[in-house]
Amino acid sequence: MKKFVIDTNILFNLEEIKDLGSNTTELLSKLNPLIESLAKKQRAEFFIPHSVYEEINSFFEEKPEELKTFFSLVTIKTPEREKIMIPGNFIYELIKDIRNRTFRALKVSEEQIRQIFELALNQENKFDSKAEKELFLAPTINKLRDRFRKAIRTNFLDSTTDVDILLLAKELDAYLTTTDEGVLTWAKRLGIKTVPAEEFKTKLLALM
């Protein structure tokens, strides 16, 4: 029996999974019957960690019926973090990547701070108020935040939920399906089987 671990973004990143619907409710109305049918035929099991369960719930004030059905069809399971063995090379590559990202983020910050300083210095006597000065600097500060975020987070594990997904897939020897390039990148480094989001429906139909 095949096992699948489903990431939060499968339900919300609809640009990646166009053949399952134009909104989350429509997607679930098509995905749930596939999951239910495969489970009844004992051809596939579906899992999400508790952190994904909580993350999905945070998007809704009231759960639609389709979401309640989805939760009833999947197994919600926290990975046994203390028992899962992680290869030393994975840790080595992770720390190496963190170090490189930190250096890039530092360089980005230095560049933007220099620009902000020069802008402020050139305009110092032209501001009528502190608010006007802040408004003038806002585009540069926002650019710093955007560049810093990209340097730190692009193609990386940027949440404990990402780690839970990887560990659960590793523990269960399951297929991991996600639209997150960072999670996919590190899943491959851990030897985890992956299903790109755009191929998820095709993969399930092939098991019917």
CA dist 187 and 189 (Å) reads: 5
Beta bridge partners of 46: 4
CA dist 11 and 109 (Å) reads: 34
Neighbours of 54 (CB within 10 A): 13
Tokens representing 161?
A: 């939920």
| Model pLDDT for residues 78-123, shown as the tens digit of each residue | 998 778 777 767 777 777 777 777 777 777 777 777 777 766 666 6
CA dist 57 and 17 (Å) reads: 20
Residue with tokens 């210095």: 121
* Mean of pLDDT over the chain: 83
Query: What is the per-residue pLDDT for 193?
Result: 95
Query: What is the per-residue pLDDT for 121?
Result: 66
| Whether 45 contacts 77, CB under 8 Å | no
| Whether 27 contacts 11, CB under 8 Å | yes
Residue with tokens 């730190």: 152
CA dist 1 and 207 (Å) reads: 10
Query: Side chain identity at 108, as an amino acid letter?
Result: V
**Strand locations in the chain, DSSP E?**
2-6, 44-48, 75-76, 175-178, 194-196
pTM over the 0.75 mark = no
